[in-house]
Structure 1
């Protein structure tokens, strides 16, 4: 069930109306929301609801066992087994074919070909997201950040809540559980921010991302050798905008829908293309994943506690595994490894620069400020283009396609078929919005919060009609559904 469809619109109207009619009976409301979430997830293939319930039950039992166990060694075994099962399920569904295909290629190259147990494994939508949520719950119970939940329905709602189930954001138990323990309330702030986020998310996805995908990015990446260098340049800028609008659009809708049901999610994007360093980029891009990788992978690996070399190693391993999380393909692994390597280079260069030219806080003169601004502009420009370079491998279906894309930049003689004023303007407009005030959406929500409740419905309805009218035909799935 896709967000920008009539089917989801009818589904959400029913869920919204019924759930708020149950606000005086919170436990029944939880059961209803869990049932609606399982219906939402099972719309693609009902069999995967069994997988969702099974992993949820296992995480619930793991949390209970941790809550009732005092011994440190036993608790470590419990969390290791629970997390190990979660990762094994994820590895089987997501990486079984990839690992066997890679092994088969390696054995054939070495002249050691063997018959391997290949099978067609269907990837359940959203398995990476709800697996990471389950792991974070168990680990946080182990660390004492949250209490083990005694109610199975609470854990089921936490893992299956439909707005964020299939493509995030990755919600932490410490943020969500306290909200479901309180009586549900729908405030004007909830409604205002919900309406603004749903409309902005639909516009990003249905208009900007879909136009760029169908008219620019998809045809260029289908055969990079058939287009000119200008098309390739605009194409990768277009993909940078497309994937941002596609994924942040989904996050906006998810956060907005959750707000309309009375729950608050943390932001998942913060104008990432205005970042002046890769470190800053990862503080702004897919925040729920980057903070998850930091808290549950980078810090347990040692973080920056064991010297400079260990810090660079941990950065690289974290981003390498982050690339593998995105998909079972060597191009994703290269993408993650590139970011990991460049984060290490960036930190090393910053350290050497500070050693060579220490910053003096007592020199805030006009020339110093101009110099800082110039360095910031250079940093934004370089960071954006490093990110775009890595996006080429992320989007390409093979290294061959990526190589053809890069080599095409040396051929300015081929005609450019896809660079039109409309598409260039769309890319430029989307990038310009990266530099608007950071709280623009919240300010818009504040400006409409005094409207009567029927006016919110009218505003949402008119906004939907306008977006539908100007969007291209068809409904493309969200990019991050495949992860």
Structure 2
């Protein structure tokens, strides 16, 4: 069930109406929301609701065991086994085919070809996201950050809550479970923020992302050798805007829907293309994933606590594994490895420049301010193009396609049929909004929160109709559904 569809609109109206009619019965509301969430997930393929429940039950029982055990060795064993099971399930569905295909190629190249047990495996939608949520819950209980949850119903709602189930944001139990146990209350602020986020998310996805995908990015990446260098350049800029609008649009809708149901999710994107360094970019892009990787991978590896060499290693391993998380393909491996290597190089260069920089006599002087501003602008341009270079591998369907894309920049004499004024304008518009005031959406929400409820509902409905009319035909799935 996709967000920008009539069937989801009807589904949400029913959930909204019944959900708020049950606000006087907290347990009844939880049961209803869990049922609605499982219906939402099962709408795609009902068989995988059993997988969702099984992993939830494992995480719940592990949490209970950790809450009762006091011996450090046993606690480590429980958390270790649970994480292994969670990651094992994820690895089987996501990487089994990739592993066997790669092994088959290696054995064939060595003249040792064997018949391997290939299986046709369907990747459960959203498995990466609810797996990471389960791991974070168990690890947080182990670390003592949260108490073990005694209610299986609460853990089920935490892992299955439908707005964020299939493509995030990755919600932490410490943020969400206290909200579902608090009295349900729908405020004007909730409604105003939800309205603004749903409309902006739909506009990003249905208009900007879908037009760029169908008329620019998909044709250019389908066969990079058939288009000119200008189309390739605009195409990769277009993909940078497309994936941002697609994914941040989903996050906006998810956060907005949660707000309309009375729950608050944290921001997942913060104008990432205005970042002046790769480190800054990863503080702004897919924040729930980057903080998850930091808290549950980078810091346990040692973070930056054991010297520069190990810090570089930990940065590389974190991004390398983050690349593998995105998909079972060598292109994602290269994407993650590139970001890991460049983060380490950036850290090294910054440290050397700090050592060489002379002390400033006047930190507030005009020349210093101009120099800092110029350095900031150069950093934004440089970081954006590093990210775009890596996006080529992320978007390409194979390593060969990515290399063909890069080779195409050697010839600027070809046609540029796809770089139309309309599409270039959409790219420019997407980049323009990276540099607007970061609290613009909240200010807009504050300006409409005093409107009567019927008028807010009318505004939401009219906005959806306008966006629907402006969007291209068809409903494209969100990019991150495949992860």
User: Considering the TM-score relative to the shorter chain, is it more than 0.5?
Assistant: yes
State yes or no: 1:246 paired with 2:239: no
Moved more, 414-423 or 125-134: 414-423
Correspondence for 1:420: 420
Correspondence for 1:69: 69
How many angstroms apart in 2 are the aligned matches of 1:166 and 1:72? Answer: 35
Correspondence for 2:95: 95
| Residue-by-residue CA offset, 1:154-204 (whole Å, 9 max, x unaligned) | 000000000000000000011101101101110011000000000000000
Correspondence for 1:318: 318
Matches within 5 A, 1:337-352: 337-352=337-352
Does structure 1 retain, via aligned residues, the 8 Å contact 2:57–2:152? Answer: yes
| Residue-by-residue CA offset, 1:65-122 (whole Å, 9 max, x unaligned) | 0001011110000000111100000000000000011111111111111111110110
Distance 1:389 1:359, change over 3 A: farther
| Residue-by-residue CA offset, 1:232-270 (whole Å, 9 max, x unaligned) | 000000000000000000000000000000000000000
Q: How far 1:361 moved relative to its partner?
A: 8.2
Correspondence for 1:29: 29
Correspondence for 1:11: 11
Q: How far 1:360 moved relative to its partner?
A: 4.0
Correspondence for 1:154: 154
How many angstroms apart in 2 are the aligned matches of 1:430 and 1:239? Answer: 11
How many angstroms apart in 1 are the aligned matches of 2:83 and 2:360? Answer: 47
Correspondence for 2:202: 202
How many angstroms apart in 2 are the aligned matches of 1:378 and 1:228? Answer: 27
Q: How far 1:123 moved relative to its partner?
A: 0.1
Correspondence for 2:192: 192
Moved more, 115-124 or 239-248: 115-124
Q: How far 1:359 moved relative to its partner?
A: 5.4
Matches within 5 A, 1:165-244: 165-244=165-244
Correspondence for 1:335: 335
Correspondence for 1:292: 292
Q: How far 1:353 moved relative to its partner?
A: 0.2
| Residue-by-residue CA offset, 1:218-239 (whole Å, 9 max, x unaligned) | 0000000000010000000000
How many angstroms apart in 2 are the aligned matches of 1:217 and 1:361? Answer: 50
How many angstroms apart in 1 are the aligned matches of 2:361 and 2:76? Answer: 46
State yes or no: 1:48 paired with 2:48: yes
Does structure 1 retain, via aligned residues, the 8 Å contact 2:217–2:236? Answer: yes
Correspondence for 2:164: 164
Counterpart secondary structure, 1:306:
coil
How many angstroms apart in 2 are the aligned matches of 1:361 and 1:481? Answer: 53
Does structure 1 retain, via aligned residues, the 8 Å contact 2:271–2:435? Answer: yes
How many angstroms apart in 2 are the aligned matches of 1:85 and 1:378? Answer: 45
| Residue-by-residue CA offset, 1:431-460 (whole Å, 9 max, x unaligned) | 011000000000000000101111110000
Correspondence for 1:457: 457
For this pair of structures, how many residues does the alignment match? 483
How many angstroms apart in 2 are the aligned matches of 1:276 and 1:446? Answer: 30
How many angstroms apart in 2 are the aligned matches of 1:468 and 1:307? Answer: 54
Does structure 1 retain, via aligned residues, the 8 Å contact 2:23–2:29? Answer: yes
How many angstroms apart in 1 are the aligned matches of 2:363 and 2:135? Answer: 48
Structure 1: which 5+ runs fail to align? none
How many angstroms apart in 1 are the aligned matches of 2:110 and 2:47? Answer: 40
Structure 2: which 5+ runs fail to align? none
Counterpart secondary structure, 1:167:
coil
Pairwise CA RMSD:
0.7
State yes or no: 1:59 paired with 2:71: no
Correspondence for 1:78: 78
TM-score, L = length of structure 2:
0.99
Counterpart secondary structure, 2:108:
helix
How many angstroms apart in 1 are the aligned matches of 2:33 and 2:363? Answer: 58
Counterpart secondary structure, 1:47:
helix
Distance 1:306 1:94, change over 3 A: same
State yes or no: 1:467 paired with 2:451: no
How many angstroms apart in 2 are the aligned matches of 1:465 and 1:172? Answer: 34
Q: How far 1:274 moved relative to its partner?
A: 0.1
Counterpart secondary structure, 2:46:
coil
Correspondence for 2:308: 308
State yes or no: 1:367 paired with 2:330: no
Correspondence for 2:481: 481
Q: How far 1:412 moved relative to its partner?
A: 1.1
Does structure 1 retain, via aligned residues, the 8 Å contact 2:220–2:235? Answer: yes
Correspondence for 1:276: 276
Moved more, 173-182 or 191-200: 173-182
Does structure 1 retain, via aligned residues, the 8 Å contact 2:362–2:368? Answer: no
